[in-house]
Amino acid sequence: MQYSVDLIEELTVLAMYNLGNHQEGLKIHHTAEPVVIDAARRLHQKGLITLPDGGYLTPLGIEAAEHAQAALTILATEPGA
């Protein structure tokens, strides 16, 4: 499976969530970039977030966000660090 632009945009939205506080959601305003609005809508359709414009992570969304953020941390680490 290869990463599509849509999947990368969804991973970007998942990375915006604060995993240290599950009571802290996101509100994606209508003035946000259209790709962000669309990514949030897709995440909602997949059952990962509670509202089409953000809201809170669902249990499955928490798991997905944990994996997405962990992958970003690993890949952003400089070699030998």
Question: Residue holding tokens 């305003």?
Answer: 29
User: For residues 18 and 81, what is the distance between their CA atoms, to the nearest angstrom?
Assistant: 24
The pTM assigned to this predicted structure is 0.90
User: pLDDT tens digit string along 13-67?
Assistant: 999 999 999 899 999 998 899 999 999 999 999 999 999 999 999 999 999 999 9
Q: Distance between CA 2 and CA 53 in Å, rounded? A: 26
The pLDDT, as a whole number, for residue 78 is: 78
Instruction: Name the token pair of 64.
Output: 């997905």
CA atoms within 13 A on the CB side of 76: 6
